[in-house]
């Protein structure tokens, strides 16, 4: 019997489109082979366009490594870092800073809410910070950070601005120059829609000048200065790049640029809105406050009495995978990623599976309501 293809709607890894899968499956090139060098260069040039970046480093790893690379190269032991945290991934900068002897102040708020801008400004006005971090979308709470507004504050108080784009890049605008972002740290398995395995850091000349000013840093694989010559000329060697991943990422970058950045961001906004219309029609609510809803994922509160494990097991029966909660929200919510190379079709299947799973778990819903509402919202454009 033909096995149903599972639909992975967790907030990363996301479904991998056919051209990216095919690119991933090419016969592995030697990493200094001219054909591969050209692909690596093309990929880096495309990423610079997406982020308005002066420099981009793409190496084997994941999102956490990119966060670490940003800290290692721009903040030294004893200096202060201001972390704006909207959940588990914002918090992650704390222990990371500690590991390098960096003093971290963390601004937090209740799950699903945003740290108010005046609180951020008060901190920046009271103390000199070497850098400030913001998680563009915290995947644990679904909170969309105020990337542009924080950029204005970072400029005003002359601090380096690190934006964690892991759950946003390629799905939500991140124009570094327009927003005043100095460093974007990100990865490939979410809105880029590539299998996990790459770390990406985009930065400007100001961040590079900071790296130069630091002299020696507490890292080797993470030291930008070891990688920058390779990014200029990938025929050189520092450490073997994940060849197939880079070929796949280049395919993803080409798809993004072919779709067009504005079009792509608009599609994500439309997908987010349509999905949320669908869950509302099923009687479900996001945990995230309305002004902070992210286009890339939804974090949905369980109705009273609905068991996390039972619900997600029921979803799996319909071959649709969603994620459970992490951190403070474990057991209280489920998370659905709706980013990358997906469209209304995936939402329809997901919402149908949610409807079936809720019914299996004894929750009464109006049949077809979720799919119908999402479909109508989508067709508003």
Ligand X SMILES: Cc1ncc(COP(=O)(O)O)c(C=O)c1O
**Which chain residues interact with ligand X by CB under 6 A?**
12, 62-64, 89, 135, 138-139, 164, 166-167, 187
Rounded to whole angstroms, the Cα distance separating 52 from 280 reads 37
Kindly tell me which of 62 and 369 has the beta carbon lying closer to ligand X.
62
Nearest to 70 by CA among 203, 191, 215, 269: 203
Least Cβ distance, residue 168 to ligand X (angstroms): 8
Q: Which of 155, 94, 80, 97 is nearest to 121 (CA)?
A: 155
Residue found under tokens 């969309």: 144
Question: Which residue's Cβ has the minimum distance to ligand X?
Answer: 63
**3 state DSSP class of 73:** helix
| 5 φ, ψ (degrees, to nearest 5) | -75, 125
Q: How far is the CB of 331 from ligand X (least distance, A)?
A: 19
Running DSSP on this structure, what letter comes out for residue 292? G
**Cβ-based nearer residue to ligand X, 86 or 276:** 86
Q: Closer CB to ligand X, residue 64 or residue 226? A: 64
Give the residue with the Cβ less far from ligand X, 312 or 356: 312
Nearest to ligand X of 187, 350 (CB atom)? 187
Between 71 and 357, CB nearer to ligand X: 71
CB of 141 to ligand X, least distance (A): 10
Q: Which strand (E) or helix (H) includes residue 320?
A: strand 320-321
| Min CB(315)–ligand X separation in Å | 20
Closest by Cα among 176, 253, 215 to 72: 215
- Residue 98 or 156 with smaller CB distance to ligand X: 98
Based on DSSP, count helices (H) and strands (E) in the chain, helices before strands.
15, 15
* Residue that is written with structure tokens 């639909």 in the block: 7
Please, what is the minimum distance in Å from the beta carbon of residue 182 to ligand X? 17
Give me the least distance between CB of 299 and ligand X, in Å please: 12
SS3 48: helix
Measured from the CB of residue 224, what is the shortest distance to ligand X in angstroms?
A: 18
- Report, in Å, the least distance between residue 139 CB and ligand X: 3
What are the contacts of 355-360 at 24+ separation with CB within 8 A? Answer: 355/282, 356/314, 356/317, 356/318, 357/311, 357/314, 357/315, 357/317, 357/318, 358/282, 358/306, 358/311, 360/314, 360/317
Q: How far is the CB of 112 from ligand X (least distance, A)?
A: 15
Token look-up 């770390």 returns 199
Q: How far is the CB of 14 from ligand X (least distance, A)?
A: 11
Please identify, using beta-carbon distances, which residue of 139 and 250 lies nearer to ligand X.
139
Residue whose token pair is 């308005």: 52
Encoding tokens for residue 43?
A: 């990929």
Residue 164 DSSP class: E
C-beta of 12 vs 278, nearer to ligand X? 12
The nearer residue to ligand X, 139 or 159, going by C-beta atoms, is 139
What is the arrangement of strands in the sheet containing 80-84, beginning at the earlier edge strand? 55-60, 198-203, 183-187, 160-164, 131-135, 80-84, 103-107
- Helical axes 369-378 vs 344-360, angle rounded to 10°: 160
């Amino acid at each position: 019997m033909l096995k149903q293809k599972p639909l992975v709607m967790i907030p990363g890894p996301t479904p991998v489109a056919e051209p990216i899968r095919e690119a991933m499956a090419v016969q592995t090139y030697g990493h200094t082979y001219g054909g591969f060098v050209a692909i690596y260069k093309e990929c880096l040039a495309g990423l610079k366009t997406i982020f308005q970046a002066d420099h981009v480093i793409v190496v084997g790893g994941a999102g956490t490594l990119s966060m670490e690379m940003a800290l290692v190269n721009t903040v030294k032991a004893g200096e202060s870092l201001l972390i704006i945290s909207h959940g588990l991934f914002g918090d992650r900068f704390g222990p990371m800073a500690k590991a390098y002897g960096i003093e971290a102040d963390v601004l937090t708020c209740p799950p699903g809410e945003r740290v108010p801008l005046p609180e951020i400004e008060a901190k920046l006005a009271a103390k000199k910070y070497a850098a400030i971090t913001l998680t563009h979308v915290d995947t644990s709470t679904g909170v969309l950070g105020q990337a542009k507004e924080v950029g204005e504050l970072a400029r005003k108080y002359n601090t380096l601005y690190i934006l964690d784009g892991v759950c946003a890049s390629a799905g939500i605008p991140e124009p570094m120059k327009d927003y005043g972002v100095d460093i974007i740290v990100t990865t490939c398995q979410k809105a880029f829609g590539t299998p996990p395995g790459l770390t990406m850091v985009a930065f400007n000349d100001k961040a590079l000048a900071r790296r130069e000013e630091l002299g020696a840093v507490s890292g080797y694989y993470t030291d930008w200065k070891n990688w920058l010559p390779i990014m200029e000329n990938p025929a050189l060697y520092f450490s073997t790049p994940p060849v197939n991943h880079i070929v796949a990422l280049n395919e993803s970058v080409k798809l993004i640029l072919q779709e067009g950045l504005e079009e792509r961001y608009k599609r994500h906004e439309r997908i987010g809105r349509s999905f949320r219309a669908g869950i509302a029609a099923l009687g479900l609510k996001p945990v995230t406050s309305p002004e902070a809803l992210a286009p890339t994922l939804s974090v949905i509160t369980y109705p009273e009495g609905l068991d996390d494990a039972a619900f997600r097991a029921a979803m799996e029966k319909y071959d649709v995978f969603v994620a459970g909660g992490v951190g403070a929200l474990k057991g209280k919510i489920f998370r659905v990623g709706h980013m990358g190379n997906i469209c209304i079709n995936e939402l329809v299947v997901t919402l149908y599976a949610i409807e079936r799973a809720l019914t299996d778990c004894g929750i009464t819903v109006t049949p077809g309501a979720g799919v119908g509402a999402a479909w109508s919202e989508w067709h508003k454009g």
